[in-house]
Structure 1
Amino acid sequence: MQVVVFSQYLKPTDIPYVQTLFDTLADHGIAAYVYKPYLEEISQHVTFRTNVGVFEGYKDFQVRKFDFVITLGGDGTILAAVTVVRDTEVPILGINLGRLGFLATVAKNKIPRAIKWLVNGQYTIGGRRTLHLEADPPLFGDTPFALNDFTVLKRDTSSMITIHTYVNGSFLNTYWADGLILATPTGSTGYSLSGGGPIVFPDSHTFILTPVAPHNLNVRPLVIADDSVVTFEVEGRADNFLCTLDSRYEVISSTNQLAVRRGDFKIKLVILKDFGFLETIRRKLAWGVDMRNH
């Protein structure tokens, strides 16, 4: 078995857990290839019992067969890994070294058990739909897609912006707000949830439109079919606005043409026993827990 180990940075408190991961991989005879910037950061802090390879990016998937990508961090680390994994269909296993994680579900003290289950095939694979941004002029280079969400946000002023929104060419609404979120079902537990949007099951064929601090109180989040094409026209007192795909952003103006549709591929996530969607949201949101007794 060959795996990619991906992370963005190393915190001193994470070193023991990173060491545990590489020790466990060595115990099971798993060949590890480490994302190059991360390898350069951890090489002085982690002892490798076996040689590790260097993983540089998307093109490496075309010359070498990898079975899994293991991320170390939080949900943001998985979103960063998605820009590298893209359409390769290599499943991602997220080990949570952060706080609240709906995608990185493996607790850091469960690393040996998680790798054992991976080796023994005690897991399922869940496909998560993406969204794709069509923009004129083009934005986000060769990664104009997102696993979680697309947003348009104000940038240079405290004033609201105006976002004219169309679904399949038909006018939906003009939003006067700080911004607008278009989330996938996976993204329904992210920024959209903070804006009052609903939690949607991952296999739902939907998008969620959630306004950010709308001026009209009767403007609520909206669920639409993900075979829709949603287009946006943005204007405001300032010349520039923010456009984001997950944690990536670009500056746009009112002349940019924006259309979002369902992505051409899915991102595969490893789902270990006892780490399914229902178990995760119950645990992360403390459903059914009477905090008065704690």
Structure 2
Amino acid sequence: MKVAVYGQNYLKESTQKAFEILLKILLENKADIFVETDFLKQQNGTIQSNSAIRTFENLDKSYGLLISIGGDGTILRAITYVRDLDIPIVGINTGRLGFLATVQTDAIEIAIPEILKGDYKISERSLLSVSTSPINSDIEHTNFALNEVALSRKNTTSMITVETHLNDEYLTSYWADGLILSTPTGSTGYSLSCGGPVIAPDANNFALTPIAPHNLSARPLIIPDSTVVTLRVDGREDQFLMSLDSRIATLPNTTTVTIKKADFVIKMVERLDETFLDTLRKKLLWGEDRRN
């Protein structure tokens, strides 16, 4: 199998350890190993000179798997390589919580051989597709997000107003620090920290979550993922920030932002004994109540 390996752009001891274990397993299983160019440059000379390891700067459909080493943020960067190529992604967690990167370092030697044999299941994750009017070149080529699209204030402590339309029907104007449109995958991220709900990955919904709203009645809103969301920003400054997962662009207030469900999905690899509810209990410590 042709396997791509992607890692975070700064090397931690835990990431180095995980990569060395992974490399050993991949070599033992005779995988064709391709490591992202910048990530390989951070490795020691012995690894860099190993003739069994090649590099990639872009992916194509010939790859059978992408393995991400880091946290959920590393996976969010990895999807910009995968895009709509239909390549399954495995997340090895050397970060913190890890809702997406669920394979722990001590499980690599068991999990990776299973996955290479095809003993896994796929969780299809929907994405958000973004367009702006006028077109903004900063997001034109990576105009999608797995977690969320967030509009927020820039260079000011004052609120902004986010005028919101759903399928061309006016909803409301949020007076807030910003507004988050989250996928089910992103519901355990930024949206959750702003009071948004947790959404199961296979639910056909998105969540609108205001950031520190001054509208006292403003609450997170669940909408069908078939909804087209149109947003316009006003405020004391002439610009605002738009983030697509970890990528940020500065846009003028004259911009209209249109967001809808992307026409492709990201395939996350899950072990056969792994479930979303089990991940929730572990990561959010829902099972730690003494009464349980």
Q: Which TM-score band applies after superposition, normalised by the shorter structure? A: over 0.9
1:30 matched to 2:31? The reply is yes
Indicate the residue corresponding to 2:17 in structure 1: 16
Once residues 188 and 13 of structure 1 are traced to their aligned partners in structure 2, the CA distance between those partners, rounded to angstroms, is 27
Q: Which amino acid aligns with 1:113?
A: I
User: How far apart are residue 137 of structure 1 and its match?
Assistant: 2.2
Once residues 289 and 47 of structure 1 are traced to their aligned partners in structure 2, the CA distance between those partners, rounded to angstroms, is 44
Once residues 38 and 191 of structure 2 are traced to their aligned partners in structure 1, the CA distance between those partners, rounded to angstroms, is 31
Indicate the residue corresponding to 1:283 in structure 2: 282
Matched residue of 1:42: which SS?
coil
Query: Retained in 2: the 8 A contact 1:26–1:50?
Result: no
The alignment-based identity, stated in percent, is 45
1:74 matched to 2:74? The reply is no
Indicate the residue corresponding to 1:264 in structure 2: 263
Once residues 252 and 232 of structure 1 are traced to their aligned partners in structure 2, the CA distance between those partners, rounded to angstroms, is 12
User: How far apart are residue 28 of structure 1 and its match?
Assistant: 1.0
- Structure 2 unaligned spans of 5+: none
User: How far apart are residue 233 of structure 1 and its match?
Assistant: 0.9
Q: How many residues in Structure 1 have an aligned counterpart in Structure 2?
A: 289
Matched residue of 2:195: which SS?
coil
Once residues 45 and 242 of structure 1 are traced to their aligned partners in structure 2, the CA distance between those partners, rounded to angstroms, is 43
Once residues 12 and 187 of structure 1 are traced to their aligned partners in structure 2, the CA distance between those partners, rounded to angstroms, is 27
- Structure 1 unaligned spans of 5+: none
Indicate the residue corresponding to 1:215 in structure 2: 214
TM-score by length of 1: 0.94
Query: Retained in 1: the 8 A contact 2:177–2:211?
Result: yes
The structure-2 alpha-carbon separation of the partners of 1:99 and 1:166, relative to structure 1 and needing over 3 Å to count, comes to same
Indicate the residue corresponding to 2:239 in structure 1: 240
Q: Which amino acid aligns with 2:5?
A: V
Matched residue of 1:88: which SS?
coil
Indicate the residue corresponding to 1:165 in structure 2: 164
User: How far apart are residue 281 of structure 1 and its match?
Assistant: 0.8
Once residues 291 and 21 of structure 1 are traced to their aligned partners in structure 2, the CA distance between those partners, rounded to angstroms, is 37
User: How far apart are residue 66 of structure 1 and its match?
Assistant: 0.9
RMSD: 1.7
The structure-2 alpha-carbon separation of the partners of 1:21 and 1:178, relative to structure 1 and needing over 3 Å to count, comes to same
Matched residue of 1:87: which SS?
coil
The structure-2 alpha-carbon separation of the partners of 1:242 and 1:145, relative to structure 1 and needing over 3 Å to count, comes to same
Q: 1:185-205 deviations in whole A, cap 9, x for unaligned?
A: 111111000011001111111
User: How far apart are residue 268 of structure 1 and its match?
Assistant: 0.5
Q: Which amino acid aligns with 2:127?
A: T
TM-score by length of 2: 0.95
User: How far apart are residue 122 of structure 1 and its match?
Assistant: 1.9
Indicate the residue corresponding to 2:201 in structure 1: 202
The structure-2 alpha-carbon separation of the partners of 1:215 and 1:5, relative to structure 1 and needing over 3 Å to count, comes to same
